[in-house]
Amino acid sequence: MNEPMIPLRFRLNGQECRAEVDGADLLIDFIRDRLGLTGTKRSCDMEICGACTVLLDGKAISSCSVFAFEVDGRDLLTIEGLAGREGLHPLQQAFIDCGGFQCGFCTPGMILLAKSLLDENPDPTVEEIREYMDANICRCTGYQMIIESIQQAAKRMNRERT
Amino acid sequence: MAIAVGQSVPRVDATEKVTGRALYASDVRLPGMVHAKILRSPLSHARLRRIDASKAAAIPGVVAVLTRDNLDVSSPYYGAYIKDQPVVALEKVRYVGDIVAAVAATDEKVAERAVHQIEVDYEELPGIFNVEAALSESAVIIHDENPARKDPKYGYGANLIRHDSSNIFYHFHYERGDAERAFNESDHIFEETYHLSSAQHYPLESHVSVADYQGEQVTIWSGSQTPFPLRQEIARMFGLPLSRVRVMVPYIGGGYGAKSGIKYEALAVALSRLAKKPVRLSLTADETFKTLCDPSAKVTIKTGVQKDGTFVARHCEVYLNGGAYANSGPTVTERAGYRAHGPYRIPHVKTNCYCVYTNTVPGGAFRGFGGPQVSFAYESHLDMIAHHLKIDPVELRLKNLLDRGELYTAGNIPIDCDLRSELKLLAEKIGWGKPEAERNSKAGVKRGKGIACAVKDGGGVNKEANATVKILIDGSVILFLGAAEIGQGVRTALMQVAAEELSVQPGRVQVAPLDSAYTPFDRGTHASSAITVMGKAVQAAAQDARAKLVVMAVEVFQAPSAAIRLDGGKIFAGEHSASIDEVMRRYFGDLEGEIIGNGRFKVSRRDDAPLGYPATFWENGLAAAEVEVDEMTGMVKVVNYVSLTDAGKMINPLHCRGQEEGSVLFGIGHALYEQLVYRDGQLINPNLVDYHLPRFRDLPRSFHSIIVEEGGGTGPFGAKGIGEGGTLAAAAAICNAVYDATGVRLYAVPLTGQRIWAACAQKTQ
Amino acid sequence: MIAPFTLHWPQSLREASSLLAELRAQARILAGGSELILLLKMGLADVSHIVDIKRIPGLGGLEYDAGAKRLRIGPLVTHRTLEKSEVVRNHFPLIVEMEKQLANVRIRNVGTLAGNLSFAEPHADPGTLLVAHDATVTLTNDEGERVLNLEDFFLDYYETVSKNDELLVEITIPKPAENCLGAYLRFCPGERPMVGVALLADWNNGVCSKLRLVLGCVGPKPLRARDAEGWMVGKSPEEIQAEADAIGTQAARICQPLEDIWGSVEYKKQIVKTLVARAVSAVAEKATARE
């Protein structure tokens, strides 16, 4: 069956991007194989672990379970787009400073999920961090140091805002 | 003042990992690369009558199909100790998920389709799913092909007992004193049986191997914890010299033992050789579950005690369900057996530890390595003894725990930490013995505290590590080490060690990628060994490089070597000083040159050591847990958890904390949630919907990790390995807390809601 | 590995209905896609056509009709939208509570309530609570429109009465009475709820005047415990409180959970009994306090 390719026009990490995909292409494969951005990781493949988390219009989604064509007309942020020209995003720096990762495989998804949390709730309590971040799994850190990383980032980002 | 050691310097892989640029085996892409899929057995035990891959091979896009008919290797079997696992099934399949054949194709979709076109005729055999069935009179022998095996030579008190024509593939026996006589002379004898389920490591990155066989050499990218033994296996199996097998290990997305030892690499190599293209073999999560597991265990423990609580004798019978292939089962068995009697003063000990073949997922290396199985038993058992004798469980431990300097067994290094003061510290932190403000916080919910203390002999056995330190002409340094980065931060910590020895800032030392073509030999990243075993090698290599630098400085400064001092990247000779690069340039003249320092470390064999080698250090894991038990639902909530381990000397405190806390969650996972569930040999929960991994919601409401530095480690600057301690104490600490809360003793983990509710309900009856 | 399919983007409801009428069993509707993609990956669905309804205008509405006192939810409304909606929080606080606990935030960002109900996953939260709210669903096709009680919409495990050319275009939830007190309790040791209990009770003149007690995840579809409901109507909160355990026991008797990896039938019934008793007790206690 040779269905016509679906044209896409979207913003990728802040830049205009055009591409063509098959209907059945999954977003994660489009990102990793077609765009060559391998920071987004595949693990459980069923929306449980969150290693594949990317932000679509600022919302955390599981790229393993979304069709690639869904990005048309929208804003996609992968981990590669987080650091700015001035350097690492405060979340990235905080994860480094506070030991928020070890093997690093859950990290891109975890950091993006944390970004979506802080974008919506810039000063979350520990309880709010736990509840929100519960979406993603880490097998290495034991979670406590991820929470501290997010608290550190929130503090820095709020300081910069004032 | 240390320049690098003892400081939480940022990880060397920090920026790469937070920006998504870090390369893992699953990210490796080569030109012309094709993709592999595996045909797995749907049956738990069957003879392979016929296999026909012709339809599969004819599918457009398929470049190679591998079956036993075209597996052309010098030796088709691999295995860390017993070579019982074939690259693809030869005469039999031995568990649901066993590898039957494999296809390489232009993309995964085509490969998947082709796999389903391979025709196989099986002759089903009776399936054996548990140890009892495997040991029964009429049990079919799962491995009747007499696999090659390499049996170790044990020392004092230990021996290996062979069982021919049996499903027991490893039997470790340890004995000292006369346990039978001692039981007769004990005031009390307690005997109980404990069960620990099998568990899945679930590294977030599944197993991925990329192999490129070209001409008469092969390059492999794999997230392997043991690249050099892997190289050895591949060379042997494919009849290649070691020099023509190159193993590259990128960052690894989680190991925990799952990636220790050869896994799928031989399959990828065989496919690449057939296809004449690079082959990528990447597992799905489902397949990860069907690759390896932590063997389930049944531990019967019997202790003879005097009425004042002094331990006299202990007899342990441990049965491990080793699954369909041996893997690291033999070493797990020997360790579980060796560790079974616990860190207590017990003059008379007898232990048998058996590993048994069954038609289930192979058991092998898993964080804790047989330790969690037996420590769950001995620390739960100790609490029951305490309660029967009406002695406080902490007091009973204090009475019997080995002191620093005492021997765990003859023929081994003495205990290198102060377990008693560590236990006291832990008890204080959890508020042990303080009257409960409120035992029952709300209707049907009960609170309790439990404590546990365990050790494992750390550092592995027969481990050889080498390292190289190069000082380049501009004074920058490259460190070559074969320790794999599975997340534990070893490459950072050992970079710090090298920097410290050279008296340079940590930022000056670059850690080279792990590539067997350049990286010197190392036995493997496991057993919490890298900081000690590889650490000593790195330290020696840095000292060797430093010594060579001093020789140059002697000539450059025309000063005696005793006058030479290194500090902060500079070299001092009396009042004169120069930077390292200045000295090197002056030494080499107009020519460029470099200094190469080499280091090696290996713990020597000791014929009297029970396992043939003494431990490198003692790794300890202590825990105190406070739980809330909802008796109506059986749910356990850990409200307070304090863990303790001794790192000897923390090279990087932040990363030590990360490893300790991660290992605690591993332990909590096994204690409360994790189990592989089978129905008629079929694993019914090979996915994260039905296998519960600890999540943020499962983090104890209050969790403190304590890492003491008692300085007794054999590693650089007194360091000891950590990272497994948390898995040793969790199950018992939580079960002891549940007992304290409800008066109900659970003898099996995980403590599912159903188990606890049923036990509580039975008690009220 | 997802097999190729033909993708359709109807621009109107009419177009969507014609497509569905033509394609029937060959087509699946795509809104959020969570469940559909999972099915496709597992190879459990033979799908040659996918009808993506996200380009049809007007399907994303979430509005509270103050006159008719009811919430109207379009088929494209996500769980996350409901969770964060002030209007839902003001009038249907239990629904916000339930949505907060559903799956994880990634799934809530993409998954729709309509999709969730249509999939009829037995281990789900929304159906249980919405049946307790007397929710209705509106189905439309070429022939017209029909409105059903949500309770009657569910047929069996993973099955609704929806015909393969029908589209669920609205979920309507009447606002509970001012004096209504309720609870939604769930038991979720893994990823999907093992038991869900929804209780909504109206009180008038010191007694319960209306009651909905719905047991979720313990049968092919959400189950109303009608006998228990009937018994509690007319009773005072104190009387109800005293019988909380017995009500729980009775509820456990009528449900039909299946044994699975998370528990035996006996254990699941124990959970039903416990959650029902706790829900009843909590609501009765609140009602007593209010008097």
- pLDDT tens, residue by residue, A102-157: 999 999 999 999 999 999 999 999 999 999 999 999 999 999 999 999 999 999 99
On whether any CB of chain C is under 8 Å from the CB of B690, the answer is: yes
Residue A2 pLDDT greater than 60, yes or no? no
On whether any CB of chain A is under 8 Å from the CB of B662, the answer is: yes
Contacts of C7 in chain A (CB under 8 A): 3, 6, 23, 69
- B391, B270: one domain: no
pLDDT tens digits for B437-454? Answer: 666 656 679 999 999 999
Residue A162 pLDDT greater than 90, yes or no? no
Which among C4, C38, C106 has CB closest to A3?
C4
Sequence spans of domains, chain C: 6-55, 62-174, 182-290
**Average pLDDT estimate for B494-523:** 96
CATH number of the domain that A20 lies in?
3.10.20.30
Of B581, B602, B623, which residue sits at a domain end? B602
CATH number of the domain that B257 lies in?
3.90.1170.50
The sign one gets for the Cα dihedral B377, B382, B388, B394 is negative
On whether any CB of chain C is under 8 Å from the CB of A53, the answer is: yes
Whether B686 and B289 have beta carbons less than 8 Å apart is answered as yes
Tell me whether residue B154 is in a domain: no
Tell me whether residue B287 is in a domain: no
- B582, B654: one domain: no
Of B224, B253, B282, which residue sits at a domain end? B282
Q: Are strands B678-679 and B682-683 parallel, antiparallel or unpaired?
A: antiparallel
Q: Which chains touch B (3 or more CB pairs under 8 A)?
A: A, C
> C204: distance to nearest CA of chain A, Å?
37
Count how many domains chain B has. Answer: 3
CATH class of C62-174: alpha beta
Which among B253, B659, B664 has CB closest to A105?
B253
- B619, B512: one domain: no
Q: Residues with Cβ < 8 Å from A159, sequence gap 6 or more? A: none
Tell me whether residue A1 is in a domain: no
Q: Quick one: pLDDT band at residue A4, thresholds 50, 70, 90?
A: confident
- B694, B598: one domain: no
Which among C192, C264, C274 has CB closest to B754?
C264
Which among B109, B635, B758 has CB closest to C1?
B109
Give dist(CA B386, CA B395) in Å, integer: 9
| A65 CB-contact burial (10 Å; exposed 0-12 / middle 13-18 / buried 19+) | buried
**Average pLDDT estimate for B211-224:** 97
Residue B436 pLDDT greater than 80, yes or no? no
Contacts of B23 in chain A (CB under 8 A): 38
CA dist B340 → A118, B314, B316, B409, B447 (Å): 48, 9, 7, 12, 30
Contacts of B673 in chain C (CB under 8 A): 189
Instruction: Please determine whether the domains at C6-55 and C182-290 fall in the same fold group of CATH.
Output: no
CATH number of the domain that A152 lies in?
1.10.150.120
Strand-pair partners of B103:
B37, B65
Q: Which residue range forms the structural domain that includes residue A16? A: 6-81
Instruction: Return the closest-CA partner of residue B84 out of B1, B146, B12.
Output: B146
Q: Which residue range forms the structural domain that includes residue B111? A: 25-125+207-282
**Residue A1: its pLDDT value, please?**
46
Give dist(CA C276, CA B591) in Å, integer: 85
In this predicted model, which residue has the larger pLDDT, B2 or B676?
B676
Residue A3 pLDDT greater than 80, yes or no? no
On whether any CB of chain C is under 8 Å from the CB of B752, the answer is: yes
CB contact under 8 A, B752 and C271: no
Contacts of B754 in chain C (CB under 8 A): 263-264, 267
CB contact under 8 A, A113 and C106: yes
pLDDT tens digits for A22-66? Answer: 999 999 999 999 999 999 999 999 999 999 999 999 999 999 999
Q: Which of residues 47-86 of A touch B (CB under 8 A)?
A: 48-49, 51, 78-80, 82-83
Which among C6, C30, C38 has CB closest to A65?
C38
Contacts of A50 in chain C (CB under 8 A): 104, 106
Q: Mean pLDDT across chain B, nearest whole number?
A: 96
CATH code at C6-55: 3.30.43.10
On whether any CB of chain C is under 8 Å from the CB of B753, the answer is: yes
Query: Residue B110 corresponds to which tokens in the numbers above?
Result: 């085509």
- A20, A46: one domain: yes
On whether any CB of chain A is under 8 Å from the CB of B696, the answer is: yes
On whether any CB of chain C is under 8 Å from the CB of A26, the answer is: yes
- B663, B747: one domain: yes
pLDDT-above-70 percentage for chain B: 99
CB contact under 8 A, C187 and B685: no
On whether any CB of chain B is under 8 Å from the CB of C43, the answer is: no
- A34, A52: one domain: yes
CATH number of the domain that B562 lies in?
3.30.365.10
- A77, A95: one domain: no
Angle formed by the axes of helices B725-742 and B371-389, nearest 10°: 30
Alpha helices in B412-534 (DSSP H): 419-430, 490-502
pLDDT tens digits for B87-122? Answer: 999 999 999 999 999 999 999 999 999 999 999 999
- DSSP assignment, residue B533? I
Of A15, A49, A81, which residue sits at a domain end? A81
Tell me whether residue A18 is in a domain: yes
Give dist(CA C214, CA C224) in Å, integer: 4
Contacts of C271 in chain B (CB under 8 A): 633, 753
Angle formed by the axes of helices B653-672 and A144-161, nearest 10°: 130
Q: Quick one: pLDDT band at residue B712, thresholds 50, 70, 90?
A: confident
The sign one gets for the Cα dihedral B749, B754, B758, B760 is positive
Count how many domains chain A has. Answer: 2
pLDDT tens digits for B336-391? Answer: 999 999 999 999 999 999 999 999 999 999 999 999 999 999 999 999 999 999 99
pLDDT tens digits for B654-667? Answer: 999 999 999 999 99
CATH code at C182-290: 3.30.390.50
Of the listed ranges B136-140, B558-562, B584-588, B589-593, the least confidently predicted one is B589-593
Tell me whether residue B153 is in a domain: no
Which among B14, B20, B657 has CB closest to A108?
B20
Instruction: Return the closest-CA partner of residue B729 out of B617, B646, B615.
Output: B646
CB contact under 8 A, C33 and A45: no
Tell me whether residue A62 is in a domain: yes
